[in-house]
Amino acid sequence: MSLAPDLDEVRDRVEDLLGDGGGVLRLEPAFVARDFLPPGRRLGLAEEAYDVGERGFICERWLASTTRADNRVGPEDEGLSAVTTDEESLLLRDAVAAAPDLVMGSAYAAAHPEGLGRLAKLFDYSYRLPYHVHPPQELASLVGARGKDEAYHFLPGVDMGAHPESFLGVHPWVARGDSSEVLLPYLVDWDSDLVLRHSRAELQVAGEGFLIPSGVLHAPGTALTLELQEDSDVLSMFQALNAGRIISKDLLFKDVRPQDRREHGERFPLGFVDWSANGDPFFYENHHLSPLPASTRHASASETWVFYGTPKFSGKRLVVEPGGTVEVTEPGVYSVFVWSGSGTFAGHEVRGGQAGLDELLVSHETATRPHRVVNTGREDLMAFSLFGPDLHPAVPAAGVGGG
């Protein structure tokens, strides 16, 4: 696979693929390994496929991704989605780079030279993720990365795992005091999970979620989660002991410059934390995402916002009843992930639970014209439409009731 393709050749291929596909690209699944936790084994793979040796276990699937997974070991294209084609492999990242106007529309592409600007993924762990934080943009920039605001939607109809609750933020009293000093001993000693005593656990409820800006400490629970975020893979782990073993302390300093680690040690990652946001006494009310009505399109379909509260990304859940048809129009390029049911989306066969038939990218030209979603099966067709920055700037505010 060429990681530095000829852009003119790629542009020609993209133009042909969009022409043949009615402005839609079908995407192959992009599975990602992690080496700090065992998998939840809910991604539809064969049992033996989850263990990938030194790389760890397949714990995530990235959707319509143009972002490479920043893992310790792994293939150069890990995390990057590929376009379905009978010819030589084509990464979506390269397609967007070579033909941004064809994929994103000329005006939107000119205003967003970074590309699609968002990353969607499924994460699937059998243990709660360790307590960690994503550095805000000004500090992520020190290592040449982007910040990482993110949001979660907990998928229905599957086992919630052993620990379906997430630790989020810190107790208000922690934020009111000398916050750094409260957490610093756990980072220095690096031998326990007792840092969690200073956080609050919230239940994961299927069909709901949370908005977690960069700078907010969090330890997501074991529910199978659809995540939408900025296109970044930065983090700093704050919890040493998880799933019965000590995590490498290098993950505390993963996105810290060597000179900052030498000069400030464990104090530097504490600067990633937005203490006011973490200690908000109304954290749940201000960050919880319940589905909110998006529009009324047809008697046989319903559409709700599930990712909202930020201009950086947004997402909707569309449910079409058996035999139903709904006409969709959107303001720009978006990706589709089909969770359940079967039918057609913009003329393409889709089937939930079948990798290779459950993921599409709808180009700007097709997205902005009416296109149909048809349920041809015997159960509800549930599909998620996922958008990058500024495409739905008037989305509701986060929090209970959307306000």
Predicted confidence at residue 104, as pLDDT, reads 98
Summarised one tens digit per residue, pLDDT across range 69-95 is 988 888 999 999 999 999 899 999 999
CB 235 within 8 Å of CB 255:
yes
In 131-224, DSSP assigns E strands to 132-133, 150-154, 165-168, 200-203, 209-212, 218-219
Predicted confidence at residue 166, as pLDDT, reads 98
Predicted confidence at residue 4, as pLDDT, reads 64
SS3 content of the chain, % helix, strand, coil (to 5): 25, 30, 45
CA distances, 208 to each of 9, 287, 376, 400 (Å): 43, 11, 27, 11
**Separation between Cα atoms, residue 135 and residue 239, nearest integer Å:** 16
Same CATH fold, 291-402 and 7-287?
A: yes
Q: Please, what is the Cα angle at 389 between 384 and 392, to 5 degrees?
A: 65
CB 61 within 8 Å of CB 40:
no
Copy the structure tokens of residue 303: 């559409």
Superfamily in which the 291-402 domain is placed by CATH: Jelly Rolls (2.60.120.10)
222 contact partners, CB below 8 Å, separation of at least 6: 40, 125, 126, 127, 128, 160, 161, 162, 163, 164, 204
Starting at the edge strand found earlier in the chain, the sheet holding 342-345 runs 325-328, 371-375, 342-345, 348-351
**Separation between Cα atoms, residue 321 and residue 380, nearest integer Å:** 5
Starting at the edge strand found earlier in the chain, the sheet holding 334-340 runs 24-26, 359-362, 334-340, 381-387, 314-320, 301-307, 292-298
**Separation between Cα atoms, residue 331 and residue 212, nearest integer Å:** 25
Predicted confidence at residue 153, as pLDDT, reads 98
- Three-class DSSP category at 195: helix
261 contact partners, CB below 8 Å, separation of at least 6: 253, 268
**pLDDT < 50: residue spans in the chain:** 1-2, 401-403
- Three-class DSSP category at 19: helix
Nearest to 301 by CA among 357, 341, 347: 341
Long-range CB pairs of 175-182, under 8 A, 24+ apart, other chains included = 175/275, 175/276, 175/278, 175/279, 175/280, 176/279, 179/270, 179/273, 179/275, 179/278, 179/279, 180/267, 180/270
CA distances, 254 to each of 64, 137, 145, 318 (Å): 25, 15, 12, 37
**Separation between Cα atoms, residue 218 and residue 197, nearest integer Å:** 13
* 7-287, CATH topology level: Jelly Rolls (2.60.120)
**Separation between Cα atoms, residue 23 and residue 284, nearest integer Å:** 40
Letter string b/e over residues 134-155, b meaning 16 or more CB atoms within 10 A of that residue's CB: bbbbebbeeeebbbbbbbbbbb
Copy the structure tokens of residue 245: 């073993």
**What's the pTM?**
0.94
Predicted confidence at residue 326, as pLDDT, reads 95
Q: Where are the domains of the chain?
A: 7-287, 291-402
- Three-class DSSP category at 59: strand
Predicted confidence at residue 403, as pLDDT, reads 42
Residue appearing with tokens 């059998």? 126
Nearest to 224 by CA among 351, 34, 40: 40
